[in-house]
Every structure is written in structure tokens, then in C-alpha cells.
Amino acid sequence: MTVQEILERSLSKVLNESVKIVGCSRTDTGVHANEFCFNVKTGSRISERGFVRGVNGELPDDISILSCEEVPLEFHARFDCKGKEYIYKMHCDESKNPFETDLSLHYRRKPDVERMRRASQHFVGTHDFASFCADCTNISDTVRTIYSIEIENRGKSLILLVKGNGFLYNMIRIITGTLLDVSEGRIEPDDIPVIIGARDRLKAGRTAPAHGLYLNRVFY
């Protein structure tokens, strides 16, 4: 069962026709989205407000339509996207937080935030991120641009916020895992440029679990 499957079932019922959605990206099982954009073509004359209310009335509690607007027929939610922002959430404490089960990574160590911040700035800019891709065999271009990386530390909560023009398969999760390896002293902050230059997945750090990752914003 997928979010797309449930959305299309609810949309088809409200629009009174069978429809397929075009999403802004594909996400791994277990990854969340605070904001996800899609487009759908329909012959229905339903209003934008009616669309939001009608579809929300059919959706389960863990999916919600936030807004809707009419766009030109040639609009494509994926290819017209100019950038995305992801966040990765961690609960850093020996004890787990039962209210964040499957919603953030339970990390039992005290993170070295300053080491992580120093390392993170090496990712900013336009680079070949092949070392941070889980499977690049079918990708011709592994060059991406990261606009910014911020690490926010709020008590026991650590949030990594990454904004870029696009991301490779598992790229954010591998960057996060690599920064955790930096925090633990397995990788030095200034090793990051060498790892990027190697274009070798085996040179980078671990892959952080999916459940801490959120697609946070999409830019058009």
C-alpha cells in the first residue's frame, strides 16, 4: 500500500473519474513528507476549495491535502521543480521517546555538533555526489547543487536541514550517516572533500534509517 495508491483512489472518487497523479519525487519506504506536490489532470469543474475539502474527506488520518491551485496543462510536478528541502530528525538520548517512534532516529550518543557543522559545509556547492548515492548505475549525471546545510540542536533534538536543486537515491540519508560517523570520530571533518572526490560509495559513511527523513518543502 502506498500514499499514491490511496491518493488516486480518493481523487478518483471525488472527481468521478479514474485519474493518475504525477508526483514531485519518489521516496523510500518509511520516509515522510511535510510537503509533497503533485499534479492531476481532470475534466471535473470542482473548485479549488471543493477539491481540498472533498479529497480530505476521503483520505485516512495520516494523509492531508494542504492546498490546491489550477496550473497550465503543461505543468509537471517533477520536472518543473526548482529545488527541495529535506530535514532529518534525531532524538539524542539514552532513553527513547515513545512519541517519536518511526518519526525520528533514536541516537543514543551525545552528538559532536561542532564537528558535524564543520564537515557539513564541505557539502555546500555544486559537486559530483556519486559517493553519496546508493545506486547510480542507471544515472548519467550525479552532479547536484546543495544550497545550504544547517544543523539545529534543541535539547535532545537534533535536526539536519538540507536545501538543494535535487538529490540522488539515498543521498540525504548517506550524508546524515556520514556526519554521524564524523561525530563519532570515524571520519574527520576535513575528509569530506576527499570522499566527494573519490566518487566511491564505499568511501562515505553509513546510510541513516529512512524514518528520520522528511521531504520538508518543494520549490517552483
Q: Which three cell numbers stand for residue 130?
A: 556519486
H helices present in 134-218, as ranges: 171-183, 192-198
Q: What is the pLDDT of the chain when averaged over all its residues?
A: 95
pLDDT tens sequence across 49-80: 999 999 999 999 999 999 999 999 999 999 99
pLDDT at 138: 81
| pLDDT tops 90 at residue 139 | no
Least Cα distance to 43 among 66, 79, 12 occurs for: 12
| pLDDT tops 90 at residue 196 | yes
Q: Which of 28, 102, 135, 190 is catalytic?
A: 28
pLDDT at 29: 86
**Residue 93 near residue 108, CB atoms below 8 Å:** yes
| pLDDT tops 90 at residue 119 | yes
pLDDT band for 27, please (50, 70, 90 cuts): confident
**Residue 90 near residue 157, CB atoms below 8 Å:** yes
Side-chain-side CA neighbours of residue 71 (13 Å): 14
CATH code: domain 83-219 is 3.30.70.660
**Cβ atoms within 10 Å, residue 196:** 19
Decide: pTM greater than 0.85. Answer: yes
pLDDT at 135: 86
**Cβ atoms within 10 Å, residue 49:** 10
83-219 and 1-81 share a CATH fold: yes
pLDDT at 1: 83
Which CATH class, in words, describes the domain spanning 1-81?
alpha beta
pLDDT at 87: 98
Q: Please tell me what DSSP assigns to residue 57.
A: H
pLDDT band for 136, please (50, 70, 90 cuts): confident
Domain residue ranges of the chain, discontinuous segments joined by +: 1-81, 83-219
pLDDT band for 219, please (50, 70, 90 cuts): very high
- Residue 200 is among the residues annotated as catalytic for this protein: no
Residues in Cβ contact with 66 at an 8 Å cutoff, skipping those fewer than 6 apart = 35, 52
**Cross-strand partners of 38:** 23
| pLDDT tops 90 at residue 197 | yes
pLDDT band for 137, please (50, 70, 90 cuts): confident
| pLDDT tops 90 at residue 6 | yes
